[in-house]
Amino acid sequence: MRLSYLLRGLWSSVSFRLTLNYSVLAVSTALLLLAFFYVQTVDVLTAQFSRQITVTAQRLSSHFDRGGRVSLIDEINLELADSVDSDTEIFLLLGPQNAILAGNLDLVPPFDATDDATFEHNVVRGGVQVRGLMAVRPLSDGTILLVGLDIRDMQHMQRRILNASLLGAAMALLMVVGGTFLFRRTLQRRVEIIRHTAKRIGAGELTRRVPLQHREDEFALLTEDINDMLDRIERLMTGVRNVSDSAAHNLRTPLARVLSRLRTAASDRASADDLRAANTYAIAELDNLIVVFEKLLEIAEAESGAQRKRFERCHLDAIARDVVDLYEAVAEDQRITLRYDGHRAVQVMGDADLLAGAIANLVENALKYAGVGAVVTLTAEVHQNVATLAVCDNGPGVPATKRSRLGERFYRASEGGNGFGLGLASVTAVARLHGGALKIEDAAPGLRVAIALPAAPITES
């Protein structure tokens, strides 16, 4: 049972199955190569022995043709007496009724006189049975010549090659099994690091990250992607908590005021004018709350990334000019100079409506806080594949202690100012949706707020 459970656990591992499959493929390929090598080697040895036998048979046949049977018998006896390969040579000359006339075989092996191909058979030579590879040559006087070789050495060599091939296959199999377990352990250890981090994050530790690996491989890239995703999730979760806290704080106060006014108007001492005033106040406050919720929905929609499917090539400089034309009359009423400064085409991939809304938010903030007589300048430029749309004013600016919090939901640098503290938060969400960021800097004097986005290659219009 324990072995069965262990085997099921191993087979359920993707790394084990993947490594085993590729290892089996590699071993199968090696076995095929070894089998091919073995067969080719045996064929070469057999062909070499057969060629030697054929040459010897032709030479002895030539002796017979020149000197007859007596000359052939003398040549066979000479071959057996010269001590050159005499321990492996096989000769047999048969007369009528297969009578042995010369040679070194004790018994006549079965043969087919009409087949001129070499054949293998067990023969007895000097009282010892050996394996012989032989050829048959019928002669013109009716005698039959058998020439062959003892192939025990060849068989021994074949066995050695076969044993070496089997040993190589066994070693390859052992290496496959060992490599499979080693690879599974290595892969599992790296996967376990990711799983452990995921479990800790699932338990609420959102600051946990997968440890970075020094080697540059697929897991290192996966670790970077996971950590980037976790950073975004943490930012979103923190944003959700901040929104919840801020919404509860910022919405409770106006709702409490509305409720207090309505209760006062509902008392017996309230006049018709008090009722109308309470009603008007409640409507105004509820309208403001609706605006707040719409802003929050816009920010949530931008942060979800769903609007990326509407992205197309946009001329950021043209959008900025349109916003300047739209707010130019408002700026004149407030005695503020609003202008666009730039002549270069700046193109990005994005949603033109969202970008126009974000630029309009920056312009409204500048007009609201720059003050009478200020100059608000819009610029659009491209540097090192980064497109930057900046709104700069020469107003009082924002203290450095408050500047870092600009862009947070419901945060207002001026407590006495109007608005809900969601304008720059909306701009930040739009910038992130487009793969960019919002940058807020001191203009000395005034404030410079810029949206930095990835630039699109300039195309001819």
pLDDT of res. 312: 87
pLDDT tens digits for range 382-414:
988 899 999 999 888 887 777 767 766 666 666
C-alpha angle with apex 295: 256 to 293, nearest 5 degrees? 35
Model confidence at 376, in pLDDT bands (50, 70, 90)? very high
Q: Is 113 exposed, middle or buried (0-12, 13-18, 19+ CB in 10 A)?
A: exposed
pLDDT of res. 263: 81
Task: Give the three-state DSSP class for 297.
Answer: helix
Furthest CA-CA distance within the chain: 157
Contact partners, residue 353, CB within 8 Å, separation at least 6: none
Of the chain, the percentage scoring pLDDT greater than 70 comes to: 84
Task: Give the three-state DSSP class for 120.
Answer: strand
pLDDT of res. 414: 65
Quote the mean pLDDT of the chain. 81
Within a 10 A sphere around the Cβ of 102, how many other Cβ atoms? 20
Residue 292, CA atoms < 13 Å, CB-side half-sphere: 23
Q: Where are the beta strands (DSSP E) in 60-118?
A: 89-94, 100-103
Greater pLDDT, 177 or 49: 49
Question: To 10 degrees, what angle do helices 316-333 and 352-369 make?
Answer: 30
Domain ranges of the chain: 1-184, 218-304, 307-454
pLDDT of res. 325: 92
Q: Where are the beta strands (DSSP E) in 270-406?
A: 312-315, 337-340, 347-350, 375-383, 386-393
Structure tokens at 193: 């690091």
- Give, in words, the CATH class of 307-454: alpha beta
Give the C-alpha separation, 387 to 403, whole Å: 23
CB 321 within 8 A of CB 280: no
Residue 350 above 80 pLDDT? yes
Give the C-alpha separation, 243 to 150, whole Å: 96
Question: To 10 degrees, what angle do helices 352-369 and 423-433 make?
Answer: 150
Q: Average pLDDT of 321-326? A: 91
Model confidence at 40, in pLDDT bands (50, 70, 90)? confident
CB 223 within 8 A of CB 194: yes
Give the C-alpha separation, 235 to 407, whole Å: 14
Model confidence at 248, in pLDDT bands (50, 70, 90)? low
pLDDT of res. 458: 66
Residue 144 above 80 pLDDT? yes
Give the C-alpha separation, 395 to 398, whole Å: 9
User: Lowest-confidence range among 33-37, 74-78, 103-107, 122-126?
Assistant: 33-37
CA nearest to 296, candidates 247, 332, 353, 343: 247
Phi and psi based region of residue 412 (left: phi greater than 0; alpha: psi -120 to 50; beta: remaining): beta
Q: Report if pTM > 0.85.
A: no
CB 355 within 8 A of CB 434: yes
User: Lowest-confidence range among 195-204, 317-326, 407-416?
Assistant: 407-416
Question: To 10 degrees, what angle do helices 14-81 and 152-202 make?
Answer: 170
**Into which CATH architecture does domain 1-184 fall?**
2-Layer Sandwich (3.30)
Residue 295 above 70 pLDDT? no
Model confidence at 41, in pLDDT bands (50, 70, 90)? confident
Give the C-alpha separation, 44 to 52, whole Å: 12
pLDDT tens digits for range 203-237:
877 788 888 777 777 777 888 888 888 887 877 77
pLDDT tens digits for range 63-86:
888 888 888 888 888 888 887 777
